[in-house]
Structure 1
Amino acid sequence: MNHKNYFSRRRFIQSLSLGASTPILGSMLNRIAMGAQGEIAPMRFLFVVEGNSVPPRQVHPEGIPYVEREKRDRYVEHSLHGLKLPPALVPVEDFRERLTIVQGLSGRMCSGGHSSDHGALGAYHANQGRDIQAATIDGMLGQAFPSIFDNLVLGISSDTDKVVDFNCSASSPNRSLATILHPDVAYGRLFGSVAEGTARSTFQARKNLLDFMQQDIRRARREVGSVDREKLDTYLSAFESLGMKSKRLVEVRDQLVEVAPHLTNKYTSTVETDRLDAHFELVTAALIGGLTNCATIASGVGFPNFNVTFSGLGINTGKHPIGHALYDKEDQSAWEMAEKIKAFHFSLIARTMRALDQIPEGNGTMLDRTIVVYLSDGAETHHSQCFEWPFVVLGTGDGKIKSGGRYLQFPNYANRGHRTINSLYNTLLHAAGIPYDTFGTMDPNLTEDMHHGPLTEMLV
């Protein structure tokens, strides 16, 4: 290395950053300076969980013969070069080189049915969210790359009045992460310190309330016995954590000003496409602003709230009846509606990826260290038994995951070479620099090697 050039570049970028006339220019130059200083930016993850299944054929490229699960007797790999992507994946065509389609993984340790709830990201039987056995993969990665919000979980529900749900993510055993369902509430939580009007006053009122609650608990704990004091300490710790988040949001107010989305009518809309659009906008801003390094979009996740009607796409049928009619050979309308809904999700994913790709960081862009994972909480079909669980992965994790556009198909359940969703999550952990090989719980009908370790076929 030419040390003279290294330090010259470093000092030049730092001087530009200090004299930058706008906050956004300063932030961008700081990201570029990471490369000059040898600093490594955090890995980032976006999980997009869509309710009501992902039929394997809907993410299967044209030009590759489709093989039914029961007939898959060996591992098969194809390049996506020259192949036509299925309608659902057309929106991410520009990112074909970063695209990996994974077919054939099983998740029989999960509950199946309409939804596996936390099990989809946790690889365990969650019993409709009543038995949260461990941190989910997003919870684990969020803790590995902490920020003001270790995890940001946003979503939509068929119950449009519901503000918060606890349906897919967890930070530890018996601790579900809240899924914020109303974009205006999420906006206030993330950007209330720089907002105007109601969002600003709500943020300040919440901050004041947290301060008062902490003071009251501290006074009370001085007057109770040791057992009650221990219980109060748990509450105090929770309120202090929330209070610290509010304090840090105030401290980074200048940084938030540059990334906060413009608050439009879609943030208060009851139309599901508007809400989903707004949530993706918030996630993008939060990732760029450094508020979080791990975000999850839960789109109609969990029973019975997966029955979202995508009227904003001109669809007047709920996802529950769509799921029942997916395989009606005489009427393909349900299949086409499901494809249209998936394509909408991937159009929002593509928008987020483009935004990240426009932000310089180190010697590349923010997208280089970002991995997007798309799946369903319902595995492969409406009433799933989790014999097969399709995944779409976008991103290379700063060169940790093989690129070039790839289609991977693993052997049928229990056949030699078969793998489980545990292995995919182990792969993400390895890509993140965490050599973890035993994520989730085991399917008792499979051998240990089918769960253990990463999918070496995906790693560089």
Structure 2
Amino acid sequence: MLNRRKMIQGMAVGAGAAFGLPLFPERLLASSTSNTTPKRIVFFMQNQGFDPETCIPEGMKRSSSLAKAKLPEPISALEPYKERLHIINGLHGLHTSPSHSAFFGALGGYRGSDGVPPSGSTIDFELSKVLPQTLLPHLCIGMDSIENMTTKPTIATLSASGAGQPIFMHSNPNHLYQMLYGGISTGDIRLQHEARSNVLNQIEELAASKGRFLPTADQQRYGQFVEGFKEVNGLRDRLGTVADHLRKFAPPVDSRYTNPEFETDWHDVLLDIGISSLTSGITNTLTIGSGRGEIFGAWKGLGIEQQGHNLGHMEQPGNPIWIKIRQYNSRMLVRIMKALESVPEGNGTMMDHTLIVYTSNNADKQHTSGANWPVMLLGNFDGTFKTGCFTQLDGKRPINSLYATILQAAGVSCDYFNMDEKLARKFDTGVGPIKELLV
């Protein structure tokens, strides 16, 4: 059971760590007033593994075009978007020891484990710093069973802003909607937003006044909570300065928010909020954790009665349960692409400047060594990534090299992401980006 102190601490840490950087209202539309290409990125992490047979066309063993290939049933929803798709096989994450999950290590490229703090920043956070800045640099949303999303509406397992600095993901769409759009809402949502805001303001004032009486050793930790409240309270005001703009993009609220029949109702509306945060310009970095980086997860809304860790012990190829889950994921990816394609940007659309990275937080399967880590990319990130193809690598380059490749495409030179020379000599046969992936 959560006591009041733990609840307040969770609110503070979840708020501050989720933002990661100072927030300024002018960032919302920064891409329209600068000469920098308004790139954005989405990471979609599915738990329980990503078997390559569920994404590689039958009989395809070598790198080749997807033009004449038929996509496997689990990702068949992506068939009309093959020209935007790049399937990658043969990366590894041996050094992350993924097993049940690599947790922070999946996006950090380092060893991770259940309950172990991050040992460094993750690629999504690093990209949020170098991409054109927005009002909210980084948003994380997590999807799980109704029970888990209700009892733990914020959780940190996948993203981090540095060593020992986790970034919390949001799993209750009502809370997230209030945070982003409560100020432009009406009725009960507005009343709840104002009530929550008043409480948070009072807590910030009380925390700031009482913190100075703590022992010196505790003041730094306590200060993080105070800063968290300052960030969430400041965000509310800054979002208010662009209220007219946000009204054009805020998703409609229906019964799925307050009276979901299945957990997938919350999954769907969380995705709606995530998409709106991209199309409105609130953020340019979105991380989606289906299963929230852990070994749980539920999809009863798809007709799947089994849930949790048992799903990870099933073979995925040809399995009707995993076909349904992967098809659901694929439809979500299509929804993101369609939404971004509908918003003009520059000489094209938002999707022309976007990269979507789909993979798993524990490589190819549950209880894996991480020897193979399949990935799908959607979009070309403003013409930097090859699309419409399958690339088979030799298994000697780590997921870190993919992250170094994305960083280079974002304009930052990177030989090794989160690897020192000693570790790189052991786990990476190359240096810098993976040339096979770039135009």
Q: Normalization by structure 2: what TM-score?
A: 0.85
2:409 corresponding residue in structure 1 = 431
2:35 is the counterpart of 1:47: no
2:432 is the counterpart of 1:411: no
Measure how far apart 1:259 and its partner are. Answer: 0.4
Q: Which has the larger radius of gyration?
A: 1
Residue 310 of structure 1 aligns with an amino acid whose one-letter code is W
Query: Judging changes above 3 Å, is the alpha-carbon distance between structure 1 residues 225 and 298 closer, same or farther for their aligned structure 2 residues?
Result: closer
Q: Using the alignment, how far apart are the partners of 1:155 and 1:133 within structure 2?
A: 21
Alignment of 1:356-375 (within 5 A): 356-375=340-359
Query: Judging changes above 3 Å, is the alpha-carbon distance between structure 1 residues 457 and 315 closer, same or farther for their aligned structure 2 residues?
Result: same
1:24 corresponding residue in structure 2 = none
Q: Using the alignment, how far apart are the partners of 2:212 and 2:59 within structure 1?
A: 71
Q: Using the alignment, how far apart are the partners of 1:38 and 1:150 within structure 2?
A: 16
Measure how far apart 1:224 and its partner are. Answer: 7.3
2:138 is the counterpart of 1:154: no
Paired residue for 2:299, among 291, 300, 310? 310
1:456 corresponding residue in structure 2 = 435
Asked if structure 2 preserves the Cα contact closer than 8 Å seen for 1:42 and 1:369, the reply is: yes
Query: Judging changes above 3 Å, is the alpha-carbon distance between structure 1 residues 406 and 176 closer, same or farther for their aligned structure 2 residues?
Result: same
The superposition leaves residues 50-107 of structure 1 with CA deviations (integer Å, 9 ceiling, x where unpaired) of 1111111101113414xxxxxxxxxx42111111011122212222111110101000
Paired residue for 1:125, among 104, 111, 116? 111
Asked if structure 2 preserves the Cα contact closer than 8 Å seen for 1:117 and 1:377, the reply is: yes
The superposition leaves residues 101-122 of structure 1 with CA deviations (integer Å, 9 ceiling, x where unpaired) of 0101000111211111111111
Query: Judging changes above 3 Å, is the alpha-carbon distance between structure 1 residues 257 and 299 closer, same or farther for their aligned structure 2 residues?
Result: same
The superposition leaves residues 237-279 of structure 1 with CA deviations (integer Å, 9 ceiling, x where unpaired) of 3332222211111111111111010001222315122122111
Paired residue for 1:347, among 331, 335, 341? 331
The superposition leaves residues 6-62 of structure 1 with CA deviations (integer Å, 9 ceiling, x where unpaired) of xxxxxxxxxxxxxxxxxxxxxxxx99x95xx87334211111111111111101113
2:372 corresponding residue in structure 1 = 388
2:77 is the counterpart of 1:109: no
Paired residue for 1:258, among 235, 248, 251? 248
The RMSD of aligned alpha carbons is 2.5
Q: Using the alignment, how far apart are the partners of 2:270 and 2:288 within structure 1?
A: 8
Gaps of 5+ in 1: 1-29, 66-75, 413-417
User: How many residue pairs get matched?
Assistant: 405
Residue 164 of structure 2 aligns with an amino acid whose one-letter code is N
Paired residue for 2:57, among 38, 51, 61? 61
Paired residue for 1:325, among 305, 310, 314? 314
Gaps of 5+ in 2: 1-28
Structure 1 window deviating more from structure 2 (286-295 vs 142-151): it is: 142-151
1:16 corresponding residue in structure 2 = none
- Give the SS at the match of 1:166: strand
Query: Judging changes above 3 Å, is the alpha-carbon distance between structure 1 residues 222 and 450 closer, same or farther for their aligned structure 2 residues?
Result: same
Q: Using the alignment, how far apart are the partners of 1:218 and 1:390 within structure 2?
A: 47
Paired residue for 1:83, among 44, 69, 75? 69
- Give the SS at the match of 1:45: strand
Query: Judging changes above 3 Å, is the alpha-carbon distance between structure 1 residues 129 and 199 closer, same or farther for their aligned structure 2 residues?
Result: farther
The superposition leaves residues 319-343 of structure 1 with CA deviations (integer Å, 9 ceiling, x where unpaired) of 533332317xxxx77x221122111
Q: Using the alignment, how far apart are the partners of 1:165 and 1:124 within structure 2?
A: 20
- Give the SS at the match of 2:43: strand
Q: Using the alignment, how far apart are the partners of 2:293 and 2:343 within structure 1?
A: 34
Measure how far apart 1:318 and its partner are. Answer: 2.1
The superposition leaves residues 321-374 of structure 1 with CA deviations (integer Å, 9 ceiling, x where unpaired) of 3332317xxxx77x2211221111111110110111011111111111111000
1:19 corresponding residue in structure 2 = none
Q: Using the alignment, how far apart are the partners of 2:65 and 2:326 within structure 1?
A: 22
- Give percent identity, aligned residues only: 32
Paired residue for 2:121, among 135, 159, 162? 135
Q: Using the alignment, how far apart are the partners of 2:98 and 2:430 within structure 1?
A: 18
Q: Using the alignment, how far apart are the partners of 2:34 and 2:154 within structure 1?
A: 41
Q: Using the alignment, how far apart are the partners of 1:225 and 1:301 within structure 2?
A: 36
The superposition leaves residues 280-299 of structure 1 with CA deviations (integer Å, 9 ceiling, x where unpaired) of 11111110111111011111
Paired residue for 1:207, among 194, 197, 221? 197
The superposition leaves residues 136-178 of structure 1 with CA deviations (integer Å, 9 ceiling, x where unpaired) of 1111112223322221111112324331211211121111111
Residue 426 of structure 1 aligns with an amino acid whose one-letter code is A
1:96 corresponding residue in structure 2 = 82
Residue 428 of structure 1 aligns with an amino acid whose one-letter code is I
1:294 corresponding residue in structure 2 = 285
1:20 corresponding residue in structure 2 = none
Query: Judging changes above 3 Å, is the alpha-carbon distance between structure 1 residues 157 and 297 closer, same or farther for their aligned structure 2 residues?
Result: same
